[in-house]
Amino acid sequence: MGREKLHRELNLKLHSKYFGPKDINPEETIVLLHEEIEAIQLMSILNMYQEDAAKHMNVSRPTFARIIKNARRKIAMALINGYNIKIHEVKNDFSVAVCSSSKTEISESDLYSEYIFIFHIQDYKLTSQILLKNPAFSREFKPSTVLPNLLKEHEVNYFIIDKLGVTLKNVLISKGIYPIIKDHVSIDQIVDIFK
């Protein structure tokens, strides 16, 4: 029996949703999810401990740790590289990409798999999915040169993969896409990863 789904408590009301440097024209925009900015507020402004902040957001402590780590990395990438930051304020609304060698299920999820599933999740329910051809499948292009732009174009927030190198990881994060390393995941398990 699967565990009960938790509803994340997100109460922060933002005054502004766009931030960026004034002295340069940024090449990229990093997207922070509503839950990520909420986590930053709880820990960095309200000085909560992770355990208390996790309870406040109604998530597990490991989930909160993942959210805060992702938020801090995105903010650091934006500050260091001079990128814009956009706050995605829609609650519990994001997209996840997973490579697969099959059109019907997720299998052999590596960077050179033939397909890429993109799942849209809203209110912790899978609302839609699309299937794309992976441009790295032919091995004509390196994944780090083609995948980040493709995923950004499809507004992907998370990329689940069995393994990836430092270069691709950094390029993904610079585009506001958070990689999640998992050996195996099924379509039925996608939503559960984010609880």
Return the domain boundaries, the chain.
18-88, 93-194
Q: Residue 73 is encoded by which pair of tokens?
A: 């990395």
Q: What is residue 89's predicted lDDT score, i.e. its pLDDT?
A: 58
Please check whether residue 124 is in contact with residue 191, taking contact to mean a CB–CB distance below 8 angstroms: yes
Euclidean distance between CA atoms 34 and 37, whole angstroms: 5
**Alpha carbon distances (Å) from 161 to 47, 65, 78, 158:** 33, 20, 24, 10
**Alpha helix segments (H runs only) across the chain:** 34-40, 50-57, 61-81, 143-153, 166-174
Q: What is residue 4's predicted lDDT score, i.e. its pLDDT?
A: 39
- CATH topology assigned to domain 18-88: Arc Repressor Mutant, subunit A (1.10.10)
- CATH topology assigned to domain 93-194: Nucleotidyltransferase; domain 5 (3.30.420)
pLDDT greater at residue 132 or residue 26: 132
Confidence of residue 90 (pLDDT cuts 50, 70, 90): low
Residue 7 DSSP symbol? P
Per-residue model confidence as pLDDT tens digits over 141-173:
999 999 999 999 999 988 998 888 888 888 887
